[in-house]
Amino acid sequence: MMEKKEIYVLSAKQISVQQPLCEDWMSQPIEYQQPFNRSIDPSFKDYISPIEARRMGKILKRAIATSKEALKASGLETVDAIITGTGYGCIENTEFFLDALSKDGEQMLSPTYFMQSTHNTISSIVAIQMKNHGYNVTYAHKGTSFDSALQDAVLQLRLGKISSALVGGHDEMTETFYNILKKGGMMGHDDEMCGEAAVSVVVGARNDDYLCKILDFKMLHKPTIERLKAMAAKFKADFILTGISGDHKSDEAYIAEAKELFGDAKLLKYKHLFGESFTSSGLGFYVAAQCLKAGKIPAHLFVNPKDITDKKPSKILIFNHSDGTNYSLTLLEA
């Protein structure tokens, strides 16, 4: 039987539609009216040389910046594993390559866009930048990509295979890609705001300085309501961070399901600030971890204004599902 070792979140950094690499969103969130927004990028020259940066897409620069900041904040010199989740990988470079292919046929094509368009480029380039030769893997599982990466890290840590891991959730969205997803009915419903995600989290066994603890984690595929209720009974928390996004039909189902599973627990949301994306659950993990570290939950995260409280959170459960088929429950403790 696998030993249930304690796992700690040592650091978490983000680049998103909120101010990058900081927690300004807790007190001064940026509010958007447009249905689609790209991330606010920091100056990348502090993380990547201009010569290297010139040949990199935005998603790769963001992954490197958040990874280096997360590693620095963790107090570790390196990690044993780099595990990345991404829904669709390097979309911008894929578009550049396909545009060139469309315009120029198969003549004089630049190999750079092709080489940097694959999903596992992100995890690989982070490892190269950090001179890391450890376990390196990428998960591309749509809305549970970050969750799958986190599950791998948790299993590896519990098995004692590693003592630390850098877990990333990275996705970018161009205007063209957003319009395709909207036409296909995958995103952009009602009041839903779509954005981009770049999250890097360091988890490990060290416990002298950390944001919070991962008490439990579970992923379920097409669970029955009875199975979900059984899991909810084990994952008890006063605050439930949900994926409510502004998609009215989906949100109504989310709220109804959460109330049936978690009763009177206070529901929280984050996508109205950070936007919907395929790895937005990574931003949810980041939000929960930072709230536990700060010992407070900002009023603008509460779904119901009547639930707003200055009570110090001790546990936050992140409740995520993708397409109503794949569910994840992540229980974090201060």
Show me where the domains of the chain are located: 7-204, 212-333
Rounded to an integer, the average pLDDT of 303-313 is 96
Task: At 324, list the tokens.
Answer: 């109503």
Distance from C-alpha of 225 to C-alpha of 204, rounded to nearest angstrom: 33
Is the predicted pLDDT of residue 2 greater than 60, yes or no?
Answer: no
Q: SS3 letters for the chain? A: CCCCCCEEEEEEEEECCCCCCCCHHHCCCCCCCCCECCCCCCCHHHCCCHHHHCCCCHHHHHHHHHHHHHHHHHCCCCCCEEEEECCCCCHHHHHHHHHHHHHHCCCCCCHHHHHCCCCCHHHHHHHHHHCCCCEEEEECCHHHHHHHHHHHHHHHHHCCCCCEEEEEEEECCCHHHHHHHHHCCCCCCCCCCECCEEEEEEEECCCCCCCEEEEEEEEEECCCHHHHHHHHHHCCCCEEECCCCCCHHHHHHHHHHHHHHHCCCEEECCHHHHCECCCHHHHHHHHHHHHHHHCCCCHHHECCHHHCCCCCCCEEEEEEEECCCEEEEEEEEC
Answering whether pTM is above 0.85, one says: yes
Angle among Cα 113, 277, 11 to the nearest 5 degrees reads: 90
Is the pLDDT reported for residue 149 higher than 60?
A: yes
* Pairing between β-strand 197-204 and β-strand 7-15 as defined by DSSP bridges: antiparallel
CATH, domain range 7-204: 3.40.47.10
Structure token digits, residue 327: 């569910």
Do 212-333 and 7-204 fall under one CATH topology? yes
pLDDT of residue 170: 98
What amino acid occupies position 143?
Answer: G
Q: Which residue has the tokens 């750079």?
A: 112
Q: Residue 180 above 50 pLDDT? A: yes
pLDDT surpasses 90 at 111: no
298 and 24 Cβ atoms separated by less than 8 Å: no
pLDDT at 267: 97
Percent of the chain with pLDDT over 90: 80
Question: Pick the residue with more confidence: 115 or 183?
Answer: 183
Mean model confidence pLDDT for the chain: 93
Q: Are 139 and 85 in contact (CB under 8 A)?
A: yes
pLDDT band at 3 (very low <50, low <70, confident <90, very high): low
Pairing between β-strand 81-85 and β-strand 135-139 as defined by DSSP bridges:
parallel
CA–CA gap between residue 94 and residue 172 (Å, rounded): 11
The predicted structure's pLDDT at residue 198: 98
Question: Which among 176, 179, 168 is positioned nearest to 140, based on CA atoms?
Answer: 168
Pairing status of strand 266-268 against strand 239-241: parallel
Angstrom distance (rounded) from CA 206 to CA 252: 40
pLDDT at 82 over 50: yes
Give the confidence band of 1 by pLDDT, cuts at 50, 70, 90: very low
CATH architecture of the domain 212-333 equals 3-Layer(aba) Sandwich (3.40)
Residue that has been written with the tokens 């877990």 in this structure: 167
Q: How far apart are CA 88 and CA 174, in angstroms?
A: 12
**Contact, 276 vs 171, CB < 8 A?**
no
Mean pLDDT, rounded, for 297-303: 98
